[in-house]
Amino acid sequence: MNNIRCYNCTEEINRENQSLEHIIPNACGGRLTSRDLLCKECNSYFGEKWDAALAKTTNAFANLLMITRDRGEPQSEKGVGLRTQEEFKLPPGKPPVLSKPTIIEDLKNGEIEIHANSEKELRKVLEGYKRTYPEIDVEKALASTEHKREYFDQAVNLKVHIGGPEVLKAIVKIAVNFFIHKGGGRDDIKHLLPYLKGTKELNIVWLYHPEERVYAAGIKEVPHVIKIIGDPKEGVLYAYVELFDTHSFIVLLNENYKDAPVDLDYVFDVVSQTSKENVTKLTLVKNDIIEILKQKPFNINKVRSRIDRVRKISNKLHDHREIDKIIRNAVKVFEKESEGVLISEEAKNKFLEQVSLDFAKFMLHKQNSVAYLREDKPK
């Protein structure tokens, strides 16, 4: 039996030097892992920079979909509210918060309006003002604060970047890792190693949004897709990589491929956290791929419609969570009742009142809120 070797340095992988590699990065919610790809030392150059760039690109999607990761915390996105022009932080799975307190000064009337996330934040702003205006009574001002907890009712403009040289390297790495993980030969990809280490540039990867979907996602699915095709007759080994049903790429792994025919795929739905195989369709000839890499097309409308689809799924996920919260909140009415006693008419009415009030607020909010995502052409 052959021993397992690092595909970069060919050092034998053993218990001491093994390292766990996420084939689709952890930051994207990837679950497919292997300890048989790279030794610890090589894993440390292969990657972190590229994976971090990819994580930045896909973070908004990971947050929208509230995906869970094996390790590490998702980052908050920042966006500008289109109505108030305030900058908000969008923590994953939580309501937006102001990035910093908003201060509206009306000095003519001697009034200052401050929007802050907490009393602590408000106190800091007021104490700042007290240095200029010693007559301000901080405690009195704090006591007269209006506390508001309301739905976030304005669209936020979020910027989404797709591509960039580091992201493209992360995509090639996904393809190479998957190919080796599935038993592909090191000799077929070894010319890509300097590129993956960042010491040589190659024109081998670009965005690709085919007319016919490589994997036709179900209505609730947001998949990651990897497909690898090796065609010795055409003399080509290539990969298709798609993340969050939106960012999709073609990778030319080898343009003189002579090994056995290969048709491998892996689909992971980030919503249900389930994976499938043998469910994709794609046939390209070598010249199609070479043409894509030469022309570098970018179809913004296709990307936009895919983002829109993911946004709708995300909205549904958030709605379910919100409805659940409304019910759980209303059920608290019954907790005050003593155990074993029949639920009183008064408690029932209170429950209904609470549910309808919260639902009314929720429905109003639904009508008003839209999220915008803007895409930039990759460099």
11 versus 358: smaller Cβ distance to Zn ion: 11
- Pick the binder of Zn ion from 39, 196, 252, 270 (CB under 5 A): 39
163 close to 18: Cβ distance less than 8 angstroms: no
51 versus 245: smaller Cβ distance to Zn ion: 51
Q: Is 9 in the site for Zn ion (CB under 5 A)?
A: yes
- Pick the binder of Zn ion from 28, 42, 60, 160 (CB under 5 A): 42
The helices-and-strands tally (H runs, E runs) of the chain is: 9, 15
Cα distances from 261 to residues 1, 122, 235, 289, in angstroms, run: 23, 65, 10, 18
5 versus 309: smaller Cβ distance to Zn ion: 5
- Least Å distance, CB 234 to Zn ion, is 31
39 versus 175: smaller Cβ distance to Zn ion: 39
Residue 301: beta bridge partners?
A: none
- Least Å distance, CB 21 to Zn ion, is 11
56 versus 186: smaller Cβ distance to Zn ion: 186
Nearest to 18 by CA among 46, 47, 41, 39: 39
Cα distances from 66 to residues 56, 76, 167, 294, in angstroms, run: 15, 11, 22, 37
42 versus 253: smaller Cβ distance to Zn ion: 42
- Least Å distance, CB 127 to Zn ion, is 56
Q: Is 180 in the site for Zn ion (CB under 5 A)?
A: no
Q: Is 13 in the site for Zn ion (CB under 5 A)?
A: no
- Least Å distance, CB 39 to Zn ion, is 3
Number of amino acids touching Zn ion (CB under 5 A): 6
- Least Å distance, CB 10 to Zn ion, is 7
The 8 Å CB, 24+ separation contacts for 311-319 are: 311/64, 311/371, 311/373, 313/65, 313/220, 313/222, 313/271, 314/64, 314/65, 314/66, 315/371, 316/220, 317/65, 317/66, 317/271, 318/66, 319/366
Structure tokens at 307: 């983002």
99 close to 78: Cβ distance less than 8 angstroms: yes
Q: Is 8 in the site for Zn ion (CB under 5 A)?
A: yes
Nearest to 375 by CA among 220, 214, 209: 209
- Least Å distance, CB 46 to Zn ion, is 9
- Pick the binder of Zn ion from 6, 122, 196, 225 (CB under 5 A): 6
- Least Å distance, CB 17 to Zn ion, is 8
Q: Is 35 in the site for Zn ion (CB under 5 A)?
A: no
Q: Tell the residue number behind the tokens 């929720």, with chain if given.
A: 362
8 versus 248: smaller Cβ distance to Zn ion: 8
Given the rule CB under 5 A, which residues bind Zn ion?
6, 8-9, 11, 39, 42
